């Protein structure tokens, strides 16, 4: 199927891009960074914008940088750039691990983290990792900037909480003061080039006595949106990761997720495997030396 006719604009600045969106009718224009999702939706006739605003020339939204207390990732940073970033490898390895699960090398070279968020898929690999990092998404429009916690960016499958005139400028999260333990585990139909059936992300701080001081857990593809594992987080806090604790955490995880049967998997499979992945990941980080 051929793409429909549309106008193309390539602004030099984020301000110019926001002005183009503001002048367009709602839904009449869409911004494009990597295009790995949008172009497919256009070919399928799901999205029919009259104007495409290509963000390629806006260098500031591709930058990954760290300050003393915060880490910032530009909305147009590619998955490959995130994986290769020493900042992310050292300060947020859970995000690097999640991005490594995405698509093929070609997709990771082109696809962007902002696009992964905006697409609002429950199985988006980067989002559970961003959720445990407690990331915020900065949205820019002609009227200014607003921020949303990443976990609040979604209303349902393929439905984000953004206005039509907003562009994802960057994603930002606290820089850890010390190395934290983390994991990202996912299951697909096969080992590569597969849409994720379910995923678990975790980042935690363990004290010198081996007890969990702070835990952050998120699940992907087991609810209408990515969700936090608040019940497991609360249960783990103050406890050592003993076999009994891991078994109980597994059972809590199975109860707090909200999976469905669909073309890729069953509800029961997702409950069983999500719990098993959580237990495996917690066992791994529990054995990691300080």
* Rounded distance between C-alpha atoms, residue 55 and residue 57, angstroms: 6
In the DSSP assignment, the letter for residue 235 is: H
**Among 32, 38, 117, 39, residue whose Cα is nearest residue 82:** 117
Structure tokens at 71: 């880490």
* Rounded distance between C-alpha atoms, residue 249 and residue 232, angstroms: 6
Considering the entire predicted model, what is its pTM?
0.93
**Is the Cα torsion angle 109, 110, 116, 117 positive or negative in sign?**
positive
- Domains of the chain, each with CATH number or no CATH: 7-54 (3.30.43), 62-174 (3.30.465.10), 197-285 (3.30.390.50)
Predicted confidence pLDDT, tens digits, the chain (290 residues): 455 577 899 999 999 999 999 887 666 888 999 988 887 777 777 788 888 999 999 999 999 999 989 999 999 999 999 999 999 999 999 999 999 999 889 999 999 999 999 999 999 999 999 999 999 999 999 999 999 999 999 999 999 999 989 999 999 999 998 889 999 999 976 555 557 899 999 999 999 999 999 999 999 999 999 999 999 999 999 999 999 999 999 999 999 999 988 877 899 999 999 999 999 999 999 875 44
* Rounded distance between C-alpha atoms, residue 79 and residue 84, angstroms: 9
**Among 66, 60, 104, 106, residue whose Cα is nearest residue 88:** 66
Res 289: pLDDT: 47
Those residues with Cβ within 8 angstroms of residue 237's Cβ, 6 or more apart along the chain or in another chain: 212, 213, 214, 215
Would you call 289 exposed, middle or buried from its count of C-beta atoms within 10 A (0-12, 13-18, 19+)?
exposed
What is the greatest pairwise CA distance in the chain? 63
């Amino acid at each position: 199927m051929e793409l429909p006719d549309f106008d193309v604009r390539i602004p030099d600045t984020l301000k110019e891009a926001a002005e183009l969106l503001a002048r367009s009718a709602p839904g009449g224009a869409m911004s494009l960074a990597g295009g790995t999702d949008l172009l497919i939706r256009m070919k399928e006739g799901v999205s029919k914008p009259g104007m495409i605003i290509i963000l390629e020339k806006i260098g500031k939204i591709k930058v990954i940088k760290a300050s003393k207390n915060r880490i910032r990732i530009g909305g147009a940073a590619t998955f490959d750039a995130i994986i290769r970033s020493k900042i992310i490898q050292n300060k947020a390895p859970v995000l690097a691990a999640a991005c490594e699960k995405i698509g093929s090398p070609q997709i990771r070279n082109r696809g962007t983290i902002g696009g992964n968020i905006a697409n609002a898929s429950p199985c988006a690999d980067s989002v559970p990792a961003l959720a445990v990092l407690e990331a915020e998404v900065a949205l820019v429009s002609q009227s200014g900037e607003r921020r949303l916690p990443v976990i609040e960016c979604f209303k349902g499958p393929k439905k984000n909480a953004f206005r039509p005139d907003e562009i994802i400028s960057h994603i930002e999260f606290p820089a850890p003061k010390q190395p934290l333990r983390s994991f990202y585990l996912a299951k697909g139909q096969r080992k590569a080039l597969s849409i994720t059936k379910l995923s678990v992300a975790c980042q935690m701080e363990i004290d010198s006595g081996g007890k969990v001081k702070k835990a952050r857990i998120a699940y992907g593809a087991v609810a209408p949106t990515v969700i936090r594992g608040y019940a497991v987080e609360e249960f783990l806090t103050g406890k050592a990761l003993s076999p009994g604790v891991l078994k109980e955490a597994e059972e809590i995880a199975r109860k707090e997720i909200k999976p469905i049967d669909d073309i890729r998997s069953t509800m029961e499979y997702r409950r069983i495997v999500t719990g098993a992945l959580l237990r495996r990941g917690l066992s791994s980080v529990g054995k990691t030396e300080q």
